[in-house]
Homo-oligomer: A and B are copies of this chain.
C-alpha cells in the first residue's frame, strides 16, 4: 500500500481519487473538484478550509485509515489554535498532507457554495455564489533589477495562486493597492467582483478589484436586494458571505407625489421640462436613504455594501436610470435597453462602497419589467408541470402563466388600490391597520384583527390591547377581505353596489353623499377614526381587480386554456392575501383553493436570489428570451375582459368551484330593484 498513491475520499460529496503522498488536503480537494473554501490561498491564516478527517475502518468505502494517514499537526496549526482555537478533530486542509488512505469530511461552513435557507412564505434554498469574494495575496517584494509594478505583481499572484486572469483595477483602487502593499508588507486582502466573467454588457466582462486592505483582513461584504415598486420600495440588506439577512425595510416611493400610477408619472415627464429629472432624483434619493437606514439598523457601514440588485417595472427602470420614460407611454413602448445591466452604483448616485456594482435584471418587454423577470426567477414556472398562474400584486401587477412547455407574461396597471392608496381608510401595513375581517352573514356585524394585536375585535382583551395604537385604517390585505366579506354577507351585490341600511338590514350601512358606506369600526366616541368601506373604495378595488383578472385572462387566451392548475399570489403583501377572499373578489380565476398559495414578495425574492447567486443572473437573462410577451395596453380583448371582470366575482366566468364553497348571495342593490341600495340619487329620482 505504501508504494501506491494514497486514496482520498471526501464526504459528503463522495468524490474520491488517488493523490501523490504529501499533497495537502486542500490541493487534493481542488484536484478532485471538491468544494473547499479558502480566502488566504493556503497560507494558514484564514481558517476557512477546516476539514474533519475520519480514521479507522470505513467499510462503506472499503478502506482503513490509519492515524498517520495525515501529516501531524504542524506549527501553523498550533499557532492558529493558540490564537483563535481549532475545534477538536478538525485540521487546516491547507496544512495537513495526505500520507495514506483517508476519509475527509468537508463541513458545510468550509464550502464556498454554502446553501442558505431563506424563510419566507415559502421556504427557499439559495446556493451561495455571490459575485463578490475576498482573496488574500502575498506578493514578492519589489525588485529594481526586474522592475514590476505593484499591480503587476498582484496580477501575477492572482494568476499563479488563484488561476484568476484578466483582473481589472480602477485608478482609485490602484492608489489604495499601493498604500495597502506598503502597510501590509507586501500582503493584501482583495475584494473581487466576478459578476461578469466572460459576459459583456455596459460593463467590462472581467473580474474587478472592488476593495483592498493591508495584510489579512476579513471585511464585511454586504449586498442590497431592492424591489422598486411604483408605490413601495422594499429592500433587504444581506451578508454576502453568510447569506444572512441583516435588515429589511421599505419606504414609500416618493414619486407618488408626481402621480399615483405609472402613466401619470410619464405624463408628468411629458408636461414638464424637468419632470423626468425630478422623478429620477426623487427615487434615487429614496434608495440612498433606504440604504443608509438599513445599514444603520444592521450596524454596518454603507461603505461595506459592495453590490445592489434592483428589480422594477420598465417605467421605474427608466426613471431610476435617468432614461427618458416618455417612449414607454405609447406604442410601440420602445425601451432604451432591455438587457440586464451591470453599472457602477455611483452611476445612479448611490454612495455605497466606492466600487459598488449595480445589477439590474433584464426587462421582458415595454410593459413587462425586471420585476416580472425576478418573479420568474423566484417562482420558476418554466420548471413546473402544472399550469401555474403567478400574480404579483402591486400598483402595476406582473402576471406570468406557464409550465414546462411555455411561459407567458404581461403586466397590468392595477393602480395603487391594493396597496391601500385611493382607499378612504387605506393605510400601509403597520400597527393599528385592519388586516383580517369577517362579517356575519346574518347580523352583518364585523369582527376584525389589527396588525400588532393577537386578539380579534370581539375577543376579551382586545379593547385593552388596542389602547395605545388604536385602530388606524385598513391595509391592502384587509381591504381585499373586507370587500369579499361584504359580498359574501350580502352587504354588496355582484355589481359592486353597497346596499342601503334598509335593504341590508343593518345601521352599519349608512348614507355617505349620494351612495352608501359600510362602517367597520367607529372610534369617534373616543376621538378615533371611523373606518368604513365606501362606494368609492369598492369602485377602486373593482378597477384594480378587473385589470388583474383581465391580464390573467389574456394570458390564458394566448395559452389556449380556460382554467389553470395553480395560482401563486405574490407581491409586497402577497403573503398576507387570503386566497379565498382574493377569489371571491375575482382577482384570480376559479381554481381549487388548496392550489392557491402565497409566495410573499416574489419579485423581492428574485432580486435576493440574483444578489446571492451569479448563475441565477445568467439563468434569468437566458429565460427572458423564451418568455412570450403580451402587451395588455394594445390587446383589443383586454377591454372586453376588463369589463366582464368588473362584477364580483365575474360577470360571465362561472366560478363554479368557488360557489360550491362559499355563499355568494344573489342580491341586487340597483335602484330599480325592490331591495334598494346602490346609488342614492337613483332612489330619489
Contact B336 A169 (CB under 8 A): no
Contact flag A177-B336 (CB < 8 Å), given A144-B365, A149-B363: yes
The answer to whether B206 touches A171 (Cβ under 8 A) is: no
Among the 9-residue stretches A66-74, A107-115, A317-325, A493-501, the one with 4 or more Cβ atoms under 8 Å from chain B is A317-325
- A196 nearest in chain B by CB position: B204
**Residue of B at shortest CB range from A177?**
B336
Chain B contacts for A179, CB-based, 8 A: 324
From known contacts A202-B169, A204-B206, infer whether A143 and B337 are also in contact, taking CB-CB under 8 Å.
no
Contact A141 B332 (CB under 8 A): yes
A204 touches B336 (CB 8 A): no
> Which residue in B141, B178, B322 is a CB contact (below 8 Å) of A336?
B178
Chain B positions within 8 Å of A200 at CB level: 166, 168, 206
Interface flag for A634 (CB, 8 Å):
yes
Nearest-CB residue, chain B, relative to A153: B334
Instruction: Find residues 575-634 in chain A having any chain B CB closer than 8 Å to their own CB.
Output: 629, 631, 634
Do residues A149 and B336 form an inter-chain contact, with CB atoms below 8 A? yes
- Chain A: number of interface residues, binned into ranges: 35 or more
Q: Are A171 and B322 in contact (CB under 8 A)?
A: yes
Contacts A/B (CB < 8 Å), 16 sampled = A142-B332, A147-B338, A147-B365, A148-B335, A148-B338, A150-B334, A150-B335, A150-B336, A151-B337, A151-B339, A168-B201, A168-B204, A171-B347, A174-B323, A174-B337, A178-B324
Q: What is the bound-complex CA distance between A169 and B150, given in angstroms?
A: 30
Q: Which chain B residue has the least Cβ–Cβ distance from A342?
A: B168
Asked if A203 is an interface residue, CB under 8 A from chain B, the answer is yes
Residues from chain B with Cβ under 8 Å of A643 in the complex: none
When the two chains form the complex, which single residue of B201, B323, B347, B366 contacts A178, counting CB atoms closer than 8 Å?
A: B323
* Interface pair B629/A147, CB less than 8 Å apart: yes
Residue A559 interfacial (CB < 8 Å): no
**Quick one: closest B residue to A166, CB to CB?**
B200
A463 proximal to B (CB < 8 A): no
A86 within 8 A of B: no
Q: Mark A164-182, 1 if CB is under 8 A from B, else 0.
A: 0010111110110111001
Contacts of A324 in B (CB 8 A): 175, 178-179
Known: A171-B321, A202-B171, A204-B205. A631 touches B335 (CB 8 A): no
Tell me if A651 is interfacial: C-beta within 8 Å of chain B: no
Which residue among A169, A174, A324 has the maximum number of chain B CB atoms within 10 Å of its CB?
A174
A152 contacts B631, C-beta separation under 8 Å: no
Contact status A205-B206, CB under 8 Å: yes
- Residues from chain B with a CB closer than 8 A to the CB of A152 are 337-339
Residue of B nearest to A204 (CB): B204
| Closest chain B CB from A650 CB (angstroms) | 28
CA–CA, A339 to B203, complex, Å? 21
Question: What string of 1s and 0s marks CB contacts (under 8 Å) between A632-649 and chain B?
Answer: 001000000000000000
State whether the Cβ of A327 lies closer than 8 Å to any Cβ in chain B. yes
Q: Is A343 an interface residue (CB 8 A)?
A: yes
Q: CA of A144 to CA of B334 in the docked complex: distance in angstroms?
A: 7
Closest Cβ neighbor of A629 among chain B residues: B147
- Tell me, rounded to whole Å, the shortest Cβ–Cβ distance linking A165 to chain B: 8
> Closest Cβ of chain B: how far from A536's Cβ, in Å?
34
Q: Which of A321, A337, A365 has the most CB of B within 10 A?
A: A337
With a CB–CB cut-off of 8 A, which chain B residues contact A169?
202
Residues in B neighbouring A142, C-beta threshold 8 A: 327, 332-335
Let me know if A144 and B337 touch, CB within 8 A: no
Q: How far is the CB of A335 from chain B (nearest CB, A)?
A: 4
- Residues of chain B contacted by A145 (CB below 8 angstroms): 629, 631
A661 interfacial contact with B, CB 8 Å: no
Q: Which residues of A contact B (CB under 8 A)?
A: 141-145, 147-152, 166, 168-172, 174-175, 177-179, 182, 200-206, 321-324, 327, 331-339, 343, 347-348, 363-366, 629, 631, 634
Give Cα A175 to B326, complex, Å. 13
* Beyond A142-B332, A147-B333, A150-B335, 7 extra complex contacts between A and B, CB < 8 Å: A142-B335, A150-B334, A151-B336, A171-B322, A175-B336, A178-B323, A203-B204
Given contacts A149-B336, A324-B179, contact A171 B363 (CB under 8 A): no
CA separation between A365 and B148, bound complex, in Å?
8
> Min CB distance, A88 to chain B, in Å?
44
Q: Which residue of B lies closest to A365 (CB)?
A: B147
Contact A366 B147, beta carbon cutoff 8 Å: yes
- CB-CB under 8 A for A333 and B144, given A182-B327, A205-B204, A206-B204: yes
**4 shortest interchain CB distances as A-B pairs:** A204-B204, A142-B334, A149-B337, A149-B338
Closest B residue to A165 by CB, please name it. Answer: B200
Evaluate whether A343 and B171 lie within 8 angstroms (CB atoms) in the complex, with A147-B365, A177-B336, A327-B182 already known: yes
Q: How long is the Cα–Cα vector from A335 to B153 in the complex, in angstroms?
A: 10
Chain B residues contacting A174 (CB-CB under 8 Å) are 202, 321, 323, 336-337
In the complex, A170→B327 CA distance in Å?
A: 20
Interchain CA distance A235-B239 in the complex, whole Å = 50
A144-B202 contact, Cβ under 8 Å, with A175-B322, A321-B171, A336-B175: no
Q: Report how far A142 CA is from B143 CA in the complex, Å.
A: 58
In Å, the complex CA distance between A168 and B343 comes to 11
Residues in B neighbouring A348, C-beta threshold 8 A:
171
Nearest B residue (CB) for A368: B147
CB closest chain-B residue, reference A144: B332
Chain B: minimal CB distance from A313 (Å): 14
Contact A323/B175 with A142-B332, A202-B168, A629-B147 known, Cβ cut-off 8 Å? yes
Interchain nearest-CB distance for A373 vs B (Å):
13
Contacts of A170 in B (CB 8 A): 202, 347
Report Cα–Cα, A336/B143, bound state, in Å: 13
Provided the pairs A149-B338, A363-B149 are in contact, do residues A332 and B202 lie with their beta carbons within 8 angstroms? Answer: no
Least CB distance from A418 to B in Å reads 26
A365 neighbours in B (Cβ, 8 Å): 144, 147
A333 to B150, CA, bound (A): 11
A143 touches B332 (CB 8 A): yes
